[in-house]
Amino acid sequence: MRQNEIISFDPATGEELWRSPVGDVDKAVARARRAWPEWAAKPLANRIELCRRFANEVRSVSDEMAELISKETGKPLWEARTEVESVVAKVDISISAYSDRTGQKKLDSGIGGTAAVRHKPHGVMVVLGPYNFPAHLPNGHIVPALIAGNAVIFKPSEKTPAVGELLMKCFNKAGISAAVAQFLPGGPAEGQALVAHRDVNGVLFTGSAQAGIAINKKLATNPGKIVALEMGGNNPIVVTDTPLVRDAAILVVRSAFTSAGQRCTAARRLVVVESMYDPIVEEVKRLSDRLIVGQPFAEPQPFMGCVIDNQSADQLVESFLYFLSNGGKAIKHMTRADDNLPFLSPAIIDTTGIKDRPDVELFGPLLQVIKVKDLDAAIAEANNTRFGLSASLIGGSPQDYNKFWANVRAGIVNWNQPTNGASSKAPFGGLGLSGNHRPAAYYAADYCAYPVASSEMDQPRATVGVGFRDG
């Protein structure tokens, strides 16, 4: 059923936070279509300057934005502040990336002409954002698209529209018109209409594999529309021999439970060689027992807050119970202090004995532990997924890492680092059900403009050759 109104709630309290009628897709697209030619014709330097002004606008409301992110997502205030910092930093990174990835080139050409490669914007781009990083992740599409000369319609997740509205107001206050950088509140129906709209030239999506696959199917017969899919992962963190057990355990906890496990790069599976199993599992559990779960504005600040809503909390509890009833061995139970609020304790369960483990992204603080014989078996288990976003090796030698890097199937491969926290100065993306080989972050410039080859002379000069009679 189509929603007439979008209502956002504070997940940590259950209180209503924001509401608005849904946007009109046809009007939004027509408005963007009219505004796009003038924006595309602006000199690149002008578009860059306006994006720099946007960064300053975000700086001026940084406290307000961080507090709103915390209220609408339930994440701790310290983490929301780091998200705002990433929004600001994205501008300079995107400017450098555009110059690096889509710079103008002059090529050798015969008979005195010029050959050149330049890049053009696609036109009207739709950005569909997620709820876990409601400012930073869509901003990673929006800024590169605007620099390239596209008009952008941003439909945020229906769970975090208030942050999306504030983000787009910052673009508009910076001098980028509300037709070029447009906010459109809506639910799944509006998202589907934007994807299918004939006057939309590109779809830039961050979210679940299920939704990304639906977009891919919808546009399978329309190769002219650029599509970038940034989806989730069933990410492995592999622990092999290391004397630094506590450091290794900290990396596991950070990978699995930062943002309450609501990161596409979060570690879902701890794959540990049997020689390290007892010390690692014991230390990971000990650290997890100390981890503070609490309200976003509590003092002292919690490590993690709640998950996004009660439905997500219910599904995670059901997943934990499924593992438990199908051969899993609980290492740390998932508990819920209040059935009316989506606060969950971090959970750890050994699923080694489950023959057919579900290959799904469990988007929350639920870590599976899988014991294997050696590193070769660990790599095989790491690749035992249809996803391929992020993978980390903890411990081992440089030769072990070379083997891991060469054989593990993921778009992000780390050594003695968490699975999450990827740099915006590098490409960000995966394969399989994690993406469609159009990485974001630094490489977002690649899908925001297309290369145009030109052969040019200042006057028409030509001669006829073979196949012409004398005349």
- 88 CB-near residues (< 8 Å, 6+ apart): 55, 58, 59, 62
CATH annotation of 235-415 = 3.40.309.10
Q: In the predicted model, is pLDDT for residue 26 greater than 90?
A: yes
Residue 194: predicted pLDDT: 98
Instruction: Look up residue 392 and give its two tokens.
Output: 């980390």
pLDDT at residue number 304:
97
Distance between CA atoms of 391 and 407, rounded to whole angstroms?
A: 11
Contacts of 214 (CB under 8 A, 6+ apart): none
Record the pTM. 0.96
For position 110, what pLDDT does the model report? 60
| Cα 157 versus chain centre, distance | 13
Q: Residue range 233-239: average pLDDT?
A: 98
Does position 2 have pLDDT exceeding 80, yes or no? no
pLDDT at 470: 84
According to DSSP, residue 304 is labeled B
CATH code 3.40.605.10 region(s) in the chain: 5-231+435-456
Q: 28-37, 101-110, 260-269: which range is least confident on average?
A: 101-110
Q: What is the mean pLDDT of residues 239-256?
A: 98
Strand order in 202-206's β-sheet?
A: 181-183, 151-155, 124-128, 202-206, 226-230
Structure confidence at residue 461 as a pLDDT band (50, 70, 90): confident
Of 83, 230, 283, 361, which is the active-site residue? 230
User: How many whole angstroms separate alpha carbon 77 and alpha carbon 302?
Assistant: 9
Q: Please measure the distance between the N-terminal and C-terminal CA atoms of the chain and give it in whole angstroms.
A: 74
pLDDT digits (tens, 9 = 90+) for 408-444: 999 999 999 999 999 999 999 999 999 999 999 999 9
Answer positive or negative: Cα dihedral of 162, 169, 450, 37.
positive
Length of the chain: 471
Which structure tokens are listed for 291?
């981890």
Q: Where in the chain is the domain with CATH 3.40.309.10?
A: 235-415
* Per-residue pLDDT reduced to its tens digit, 107-155: 776 666 788 899 999 999 999 999 999 999 999 999 999 999 999 999 9
| Paired residues of 181 in beta bridges | 152
The three-class DSSP label of residue 86 is helix
CATH number for the domain whose boundaries are 5-231+435-456: 3.40.605.10
Question: Which DSSP category does 240 fall into?
Answer: -
Strand-pairing partners, residue 395, are none
Give long-range contacts, CB 8 A cutoff, 24+ apart: 419-422: 419/235, 419/236, 419/237, 419/255, 419/265, 419/266, 419/267, 419/390, 419/391, 419/392, 420/254, 420/255, 420/258, 420/259, 420/263, 420/265, 420/266, 420/267, 420/390, 421/254, 421/258, 421/265, 422/265, 422/390
Give the model confidence (pLDDT) of 174-217 as tens digits. Answer: 999 999 999 999 999 999 999 999 999 999 999 999 999 999 99
Q: List pLDDT tens digits, range 293-348.
A: 999 999 999 999 999 999 999 999 999 999 999 999 999 999 999 999 999 999 99
230 classed as catalytic: yes
pLDDT tens by residue, 30-79: 999 999 999 999 999 999 999 999 999 999 999 999 999 999 999 999 99
Q: Give the long-range contacts of residues 38-42, CB within 8 A, separation 24 or more.
A: 39/146, 39/149, 39/150, 39/151, 39/177, 39/180, 40/120, 40/121, 40/149, 40/150, 42/149
Residue range 230-238: mean pLDDT, rounded:
97
> Which residue among 51, 170, 264, 306 is the active-site one?
264
What is the pLDDT at residue 462? Answer: 81
Those residues whose C-beta lies under 8 Å from the C-beta of residue 244, and which sit 6 or more positions away, are: 395
Which helix (H) or strand (E) segment holds residue 368: the answer is: strand 366-372
Half-sphere exposure of 71 (CA within 13 A, CB side): 15
